[in-house]
Structure 1
Amino acid sequence: MGTSNTREFILESASRLFATAGYSAVSMRDVASESGVTPANLYHYFKDKEDLVRESLAFVFTDKTNPIEEIMKSPGDPAKRMERFLLWFSWLLMEDVIFSKLLFRELLDGDGSRLKYLAENVFQSPFSILVQLIDDYFETSDPVFVAVSIVGALLGHCQLSGMVSYLKEGKPERISPEAITRQIMMELQFKVRATNKSVGRSENA
């Protein structure tokens, strides 16, 4: 196995362990054993556990968010691109266990240095594209706030989906990626219509 392949395999193994057991419960020796390398070889690729954690996060999140950027930059009107983004990100959160567990773990842990690292090196580009897409989609004084609200809604639906399924109002068809996308699009389109009506009234005044 080549150097790059070995490093990638270690990151894949570490990501699975961190997502399943958490950072504190996983040792460098555990990762070495899972990856089939010696502890000494592991330290050849990663200087310490914190370095391995950061690189594992970047490996998972970068790999998963690249298609989102392509979706948001794809041809078509802003509404269609927004719909594709919502569906893809909803699916990613609901179906990719490693991605969602690692993301929620980071948000809950609140480690400032790791959050800063991920914001600057992984999430800045797709978030900026989302803000621009919102700015293209409808008039708003604060597209950043709207972008955070949309992402927050998606994260919330994913986190609550397990509990909601047991509520009498929480039918399975309401918590699927398709249902989440459809509902958020309806809310956004309502805002577009309301904004257009407001603009029309101002112009006719």
Structure 2
Amino acid sequence: MSLPAGARSILDAAASLFSRTGFDAVSLSEIASRAGVCKANIFHHFDSKEALYLDVMREACKGHAEFAEQLLLQPLSSTEKLLRLVEFEFHDMFENEARTQLIFREVLNAGSGKGREIAENIFQRNCDAVIALFQEGVDRGEFRPELDPGIAAWMLGASEMMFFQNRNILSRTPGMGNATVPAEYAVKIVKTLLHGLLPDNAASVAVDAAQFQRKPT
């Protein structure tokens, strides 16, 4: 959705400030000052501070949701889709670190009333798309029939969050090797999710084949 220039500057300013200190610590006066507008101008575009925050969160999350939804429509194996999704998410996280911190703050604070509203109105779209990807793999017979798509989606998200937040620690952790590189970590996550702990090399073969078949984008 295209926004008027004034609304765009307010949204960008709010995103920058919210990502640093969170919702409660940021005032509308600070947002107006950062955006170069008067405080009253904020209410011309947004009904309230809460409405502005929801729009900031919605915009922060929409790229992931749109990518995952489009990925579901592609004529690719479920393994290839999963690998592409994880690689996209890591690229997006590190390209937009402030926005990522904002999203993670809300994920970790979802017990608040505001957090629940964000989870129900914004995060759910993202979760639904990832769950659908895992469900597709089950339905196609590419993933184990007993796989729980919801649990798999949350495991994937949690592992990505831990990598983003703790990558400096990982680089000093014995045994991690090249898993400290986002692209390598992405492959290892997918192999672990698909292969689990059982002595079966089917998942490794599938991921390796998906990597080999990928066309440069």
Q: What TM-score, normalized to structure 1?
A: 0.80
Aligned residues: 194
How far does residue 170 in structure 1 lie from its aligned partner after superposition?
A: 4.9
Contact 1:19 1:101 in 2 (8 A): yes
Which of the pair has more CA radius of gyration? 1
Counterpart in the other structure of 1:200? none
Q: CA 1:168–1:193 in 2, change beyond 3 Å: closer, same or farther?
A: closer
Counterpart in the other structure of 1:39? 39
Contact 1:54 1:114 in 2 (8 A): no
Q: Which amino acid aligns with 2:136?
A: D
How many angstroms apart in 1 are the aligned matches of 2:167 and 2:29? Answer: 35
Does 12-21 or 122-131 show the bigger shift? Answer: 122-131
Counterpart in the other structure of 2:193? 188
Identity of aligned residues (%): 23
How far does residue 183 in structure 1 lie from its aligned partner after superposition?
A: 0.3
Counterpart in the other structure of 2:4? 4
Q: CA 1:28–1:185 in 2, change beyond 3 Å: closer, same or farther?
A: same
Counterpart in the other structure of 2:167? 161
Note the 1:63-74 alignment, pairs <5 A. Answer: 63-74=63-74
Counterpart in the other structure of 2:213? none
Alignment partner of 2:4: what SS?
helix
For structure 2, the residue ranges without an aligned partner over 5 or more in a row are 138-142, 203-217
How far does residue 141 in structure 1 lie from its aligned partner after superposition?
A: 4.5
Alignment partner of 1:110: what SS?
coil
How many angstroms apart in 2 are the aligned matches of 1:3 and 1:167? Answer: 45
CA RMSD of aligned residues (A): 2.7
How far does residue 57 in structure 1 lie from its aligned partner after superposition?
A: 1.2
Alignment partner of 1:24: what SS?
coil
Counterpart in the other structure of 1:179? 184
How far does residue 131 in structure 1 lie from its aligned partner after superposition?
A: 1.7
How many angstroms apart in 2 are the aligned matches of 1:71 and 1:123? Answer: 18
Show CA shifts across 1:26-78 (max 9, x none). 21111101111111111222233222222211122224432232234322111
For structure 1, the residue ranges without an aligned partner over 5 or more in a row are 197-205
Counterpart in the other structure of 1:143? 149
Q: Which runs of 4+ in 1 moved over 4 A?
A: 168-171, 191-196
> Which structure shows the higher helix fraction?
1
Q: What TM-score, normalized to structure 2?
A: 0.77
Contact 1:11 1:59 in 2 (8 A): no
